[in-house]
Chain A
Amino acid sequence: MKVLMFGWEFPPYISGGLGTACLGMTRELSKLGVEITFVVPRFEGDRSQAPVHIVAAQDVVSNPENFAATKMSAHLKKYIQLNAALRPYQNLESYDEYLRKLRRQVPNCSGLPGFQGGYGANLMEEVVRYSIVGGHLGASEDFDVIHAHDWMTFLAGIEAKKVSGKPLVVHVHATEFDRSGEFNNPDIYSLEKYGMQQADQVVTVSHRMKNIIVHKYGIDPNKVQVVYNAVEKDDMSQLTQLSHLSAKRNKIVLFLGRITMQKGPEYFIEAANIVLQKMQNVHFVMAGSGDMATKMIEKMAAMRMIDRFHFTGFLKEPERERLFAMSDLYIMPSVSEPFGITPLEAMKHDIPVIISKQSGIAEILGDSVIKIDFWDTHKLAQAIIDVLSNPQMTQTMIENNRRTLEQIDWKYSAQHLLDVYRKLL
């Protein structure tokens, strides 16, 4: 089985679940014998005029960044970087912001909007530009199925399908509905819908998402497959070494994720305010960055929690690990979460977890986690107090989590995907 996959760069070059999911999926698929030609966008700016940059597994490139990419992508048949200014979780504003920043950093950048061979003036243009280049791969590469991850690559997948005649799977990791609620962008919505309609199969990450796809996008439910995400487990032996750091006076309650409306950061802060009025020796930490970060800092300050509520900014891998090792409780208060991989990361570190019911992962986690409605800050606060004051309860939750983790693995997701591919041939 050969797959042309339009995906996203692996960690640590990516922020958020998309890259992590791509890595986990492709690794397990390759173990099942699937040969993957993996295509990612990567902004080269002025450094490279070439639109396409192929990093072959056996090539050791002098650039250390590329070498790491090569190492991690050793399980792929081919790893192709397309020169594009696309990054995960972009919206129209963040794309403009990104271009502005790039232009400041690379003053001679020939990739200014409107120039030939340059970058799209806005996000939609860039997505179309990407699809044209990606479509060419439909002719040049050898594959049985096309697999496109997240709406920004759907058009590329469709172009490749047109050129090659091979079947297309679109993988819906999120939709405009859960990103932006009622104020979704009609262009992005249309593109998502078009992608799902043109695809031969739609794969998504939870039944919650399937419902949105069927009811908000009008897609036939028989065409939609639910394949749950999982979590990287290769590093688990290294984790226990860090646990000695957790001997300290204050308990730490953690929010780790993008600080954006979808993730419900304000509910975390409001619950923290309630807890801090009732409990001593508890500190709250909000780790990550996002469009709501400054507002959340101000909200927290207005509630006068500044000596017991801390922002860390965006954290890279070693500091993320350190923070998990220091934490006593993980909260995911998402307003609308398609799946939610980070609670699984917390569970790997033996941290009890409280998640919002409005998430995909709630479907596969049993009673080992506490589930609350995202808006119910009083219940959330009470749950936090319960967990932190009850070591017995914490211990039970941790043991249940360990058992649950055994059932969650990328190998199951990969097998499921392989079945989806097979049915299309």
Chain B
Amino acid sequence: MPTSVCFYFQVHQPFRLRKDYNFFCIGRDHFYEDADTNHLIMRRIAQHCYLPTNAMLLNLIKQYPGKFKVAFSISGTALEQFELYAPEVLQSFKDLAATGQVEFLTETYYHSLAILKSKTEFTEQIRIHQQKIKQLFGQMPTTFRNTELVYNNFTAHTVEELGLKAILAEGTEQVLSWRSPNYVYRPYTCQNLKVLFKNYKLSDDIAFRFGNKAWSEWPLTADKYVSWLDAIHQCHGETINLFLDYETFGEHQKRESGIFEFMAQLPGKILASGKYIFQTPAEVAATHDAKDIVDVHNFISWADTNRDLSAWVGNPLQDAALDLAYSMEGMVLETQDPQLIHTWRKLLTSDHLYYICTKWSSDGDVHNYFNPFHSPHDAFMAYANVLSDFKQTVEQRLSERPKISATPAVTAFAAPPSPAKTHRTRRKPRTV
């Protein structure tokens, strides 16, 4: 029985906020995004990563027709920035879709942590994302991955309700304990949904350790890697789930590390051994039965060494910002203004909270690498200022609307904004 090799690549870019959005901007300046930086970063990553790697994968797919398959999940914010700043990247993904050997997953359009705060918002962001994927790539996704692979029973159950067939998660020992990630499982609380756990050792060997000369296994060759896969095949592992951030190729692992050569050789070596087949996550879920039920009550993720939520929530700055952002849900939706709603949702992207993380472990270095701000407190101040201005904008909009009422000639200009309309944020931190 051949072992499945399942590659999935995560593609995401946030709409980064202006670093100079200070107190004096509140009430005056409603342009929150740092368009220049976002443009620059998109062009750079397109050049180093998206374009060359897509071209390489396209080649490999043509080289092994019907045999080499991969999957992508692309956030809505990344898709929008392709349209704005790098349309050729979008075209290259469309070319990949056209091969029929690439699966596109779905996630929350705005790469948000809505699962923590609002089930309705969570499901709505998935619905919007599915539409976009269908429109761009002609596929209706059936596999889901949550932002940063945040996962638990409640997430799985909600996803099953939407009719999706498979969900991805991080294969931490916390939840797997003695079980291996090399099988398909059923989430506790679900009837039909299947969960695929990332083989984090083999995934991170490529994503994190590949170029590290101090690593005991450096240099990693395709042959050596296949020998590690063989160890799993020998124990009758059914699937090897290799979930990577797409920026591994050319950004986190620079071209000089040899990552492109490695990846170009790998599929050939894997197929040559005859022990493996490449499958997309949807195929893996369809092919294999769930071996066991896995009960995950507390949220897990694929971030940092803790692989929990501590990269985005837990310090008072993050908690306060998260609470404030979601407290506006009711009034934002009430405006029925697509532009305002879109702006609000872009503010829910998880990266804004990631920049505010104050952990001091080795994870701190990873965070600093990604953080456009000098410090988490600077990131917090910009984010809080933006949220404040946005909240005022929405309140202003709601107070200007003519009120529909049975008695004539009652307008918003006569009545002052009612205090009940302004949302009060929670006083106590919400336990997650």
Give A residues with C-beta under 8 Å from B.
248, 280, 285, 293-294, 297-299, 301-304, 306-308, 310-313, 319, 322-323
Q: Contact size class for B? A: 20 to 34
Contact of A310 with B425 in the complex, beta carbons under 8 Å: no
Min C-beta distance of B165 to chain A, whole Å:
40
B321, closest chain A residue (CB): A306
B282 at the binding interface (Cβ < 8 Å): no
* Pair A293/B377 contact, Cβ less than 8 Å: yes
Given A301-B320, A312-B22, A319-B24: A306 touches B377 (CB 8 Å cut-off): no
Cβ-defined contact, A307 with B23, below 8 A: no
Closest 10 pairs (CB-CB, A-B): A302-B316, A301-B320, A301-B316, A312-B23, A307-B388, A306-B384, A310-B23, A301-B317, A306-B320, A304-B425
- Is B91 part of the binding interface, using a Cβ–Cβ cutoff of 8 Å? no
A-B contact count (CB 8 A): 63
Contact B377 A297 (CB under 8 A): yes
In the bound assembly, the distance between CA atoms of A298 and B377 in angstroms comes to 9
Q: Please report B residues at the A interface, Cβ cutoff 8 Å.
A: 22-24, 26-27, 315-317, 319-321, 323-324, 375, 377, 380-381, 384-385, 387-388, 391, 419, 422, 425-427, 429
Contact: A307 with B429, CB < 8 Å? Answer: no
| Assembled-state Cα–Cα distance A285/B27 (Å) | 14
CA distance A308 to B384 in the complex (A): 10
CB of A281 to closest CB in B, whole Å: 9
Q: Contact check, B26 vs A310: say whether CB atoms are below 8 A apart.
A: yes
Using A301-B380, A311-B23 as known contacts, list a sample of 8 further A-B pairs with CB atoms less than 8 Å apart, ordered by residue number in A: A285-B23, A299-B316, A303-B427, A304-B320, A306-B425, A310-B23, A312-B23, A319-B24
Q: In the complex, A280→B27 CA distance in Å?
A: 16
Q: Are B316 and A298 in contact (CB under 8 A)?
A: yes
**Bound CA–CA A306/B22 (angstroms):** 14
* B contact residues around A280 at 8 Å (CB): 419, 422
Q: Return the chain B residue nearest A252 by Cβ.
A: B23
- Smallest CB-CB separation from B320: which chain A residue? A301
Residue in chain A with minimal CB distance to B376: A294
- Closest CB of chain A to B344's CB: distance in Å? 14
CA distance in complex: A301, B356 (Å): 12
The answer for the CA separation of A280 and B24 in the assembled complex, in Å, is 20
In the assembled complex, the Cα of A312 lies from the Cα of B20 at a distance in Å of 11
Q: Are A306 and B426 in contact (CB under 8 A)?
A: no
Query: Are B24's CB and A297's CB within 8 A?
Result: no
Shortest distance between the CB of B430 and any CB in chain A (Å): 10
When the two chains form their complex, are residues B380 and A297 in contact, meaning their CB atoms are under 8 A apart?
A: yes
With the chains together, A301 CA to B375 CA distance in Å?
16
The docked-state distance in angstroms from the alpha carbon of A235 to that of B270 is 78
Q: How far is the CA of A73 from the CA of B173 in the complex (A)?
A: 69
Nearest chain B CB to A309's CB is how many angstroms away?
9
| Cα-based distance from A294 to B377 in the complex (angstroms) | 7
| Residues in B whose Cβ lies below 8 Å from that of A299 | 316
The residue that B27 contacts in the complex, of A248, A304, A307, A311, with Cβ under 8 A, is A248
CB-based contact B323/A304 at 8 Å: yes
Specify which chain A residues have a CB less than 8 angstroms from the CB of B385 in the assembled complex: 310
